Structure formats: C-alpha cells, structure tokens
Structure 1
C-alpha cells in the first residue's frame, strides 16, 4: 500500500495554455509517455482545445468538477459532468474538449491497448467500504477526506491517492460523514 499525496504533484502546463496536468501515478514507476503500461492523471481544463494523441492507448475520462463536451472523431458528442459516468474512448482518435462550465477538473486513466485492461468506478464511502485483495493493481483517488485502515491507519486528503497491489491485505476506507472517491483498476492481458 502506497500513499500518493496530491500536494507532491507537479503541474505540467499544456502547450496550448488551455490547462495543466498533474500525474497521479504511472506504471512502471518512472515510465514516460512512450513506455507506460498505465497512467492516471488529473487535469484542470480552462479552455477548449484538442486532446493530445496517444497511439495504441485507450482512455477513460471522468469529470470531477465543471462540465465538458468531448467531440471524438467518428462518435456522437459526449457531455460529461461530475454526475455522469466516465467516458471511454481510443487515445489515438482525434478528440476536442469543449468547456461547457468551468474550469473543469478531470480524472484521466490511460492504458496500453492489448497489454492492460483498465476500469474506472465511482465510489461513495458511507461510512465505510472494504476493498478485498484482487488480481491486478488498483488506485483509489479520494475526493474527500478518508481514513484508510489495515495494515496501518492513514488519512487521505482530497485528491490524495492510494496504490494497492494484489499483494496487499484487505483495506478499509472510512468516511463517517460520507465521501466520494474513484477506483481505477488495472489487469494485465499478457
């Protein structure tokens, strides 16, 4: 179990100056854009603009704050808000994001097509939720304050993350007043 603090993330401004991305975690550790198996990031989207193309990569995008429209080549426009389910689309498809109400904060999950299967699920912890061990790797991104117990107790602040592998014991997330979180799960295909 590894805690990844939001306060430790460095922002990378976009070339078009329309936003900033902060990497939450990538696998393997230290991997760049050309050699990651999976990558999770959060972005602040301030202006309309094209998404970067990632050949051979699948994406899942959830809007955490604001409203965003995705114009993906060959697909109908998708409108996303904090209340909508995440959108899955090919990272190599030409895509334009349009800010409908902003600024927008999003959670972006990318996985190498044919090597890793990714899933992104919204969680509402009220008052507790136990995550049993499972095959693969999971990343919990807290949107509110959470207490994690087992094997040791640790507090997560908003946007902190918890990296879990299949070797970790069961973990309990607690939020007596209720708190949202996102669970990204990754399973190797080869």
Structure 2
C-alpha cells in the first residue's frame, strides 16, 4: 500500500473546511466536501449521465428568466463543512469568471442526476443538506430504463425539509422556481437526434 500524498491529509483534526477546496489544486476534478470529508468522483462518468446533463443545461438556459443563470459542476457552500457539487444549479449570482462556488442563498434550484456511485448521497444526504441550507428547490433525476424520471422537491419553510412536489416522466412542467416546460424524452441520447 502506498502512502497518501500530503495534500490528502486534512489540515486540522476536525477535517476539511469549505474554503480549503480552493487551496487543493492537486485534487481531482469534481471533488466535494461532505461533513468535513473530501469525496472524489473517481468512477468514469456514464455517457447517459453526461449527455442528459448537457441537454438539460441547454433546455434550462432557454427558459431561465432574466436575472438567473444556469451553472454546471460548481460547488455550493452550504456551511463551513459542506460544499457539494450538484450536476446543475440555477443561481441569481452575477457572473464572475473567477468564481469557484456559490453561497446557498444565491441558489434557487439544485439538480442531481443519480449515478450508481452517487445514489445514496443524492437521494438522502444531499436531499437533507440542501434543505437545511435553505435552497428552495431540488430535482433528483433517476435513470429508469434509459429514460429520465425527475423527482421534484420543494422546501417546506415551517419544517426546513423538502416536501415531494411530484414525479415527472416524459414531460416536466413547473411554475416554480420559474416557468419551465421540458420534454424529458428529448433529453436522452437515442431520442435527441
């Protein structure tokens, strides 16, 4: 067994902090911070996942209102010990080319496309953490036989938890956080030609 490189050792006994991610240029792309621990996306990305994220990015960019922007593969600083990286997000932050993360209060919607290696984090851990940070909307997209199925959640203000707002197959129509109408069948690689 080989020794860990120095950069992988936490700088303090309580682990990593959110701002530490910006000082880790050796870390692999898509490194997240969950509860003070670094999480690396080491598995190869599936073509279905990457294609779906790209197509969904385009669809959202065409429908996002003025004053909001679609971000891809950017971390969200939820608190001092959590900085996850959703597949997509919608933010009200102004564009800044050097920016590396968004604050939770700048994010209206986070979207995770579930992969086998991220399933538990996307369905449970991130669902809870995004809600606790006050992000109003969360979409968790599952692969159901090659077809995307979107599980939509809205933040319930009194409880501070997400409430299910629908499961969408074939078509996603919502009025919040902005008016959106997406033909989900058009997002899959074999149907988007």
Which TM-score applies when normalising by structure 1?
Answer: 0.31
Whose Rg is larger?
2
Which TM-score applies when normalising by structure 2?
Answer: 0.31
Give the strand-richer structure, 1 or 2: 1
Give the helix-richer structure, 1 or 2: 2
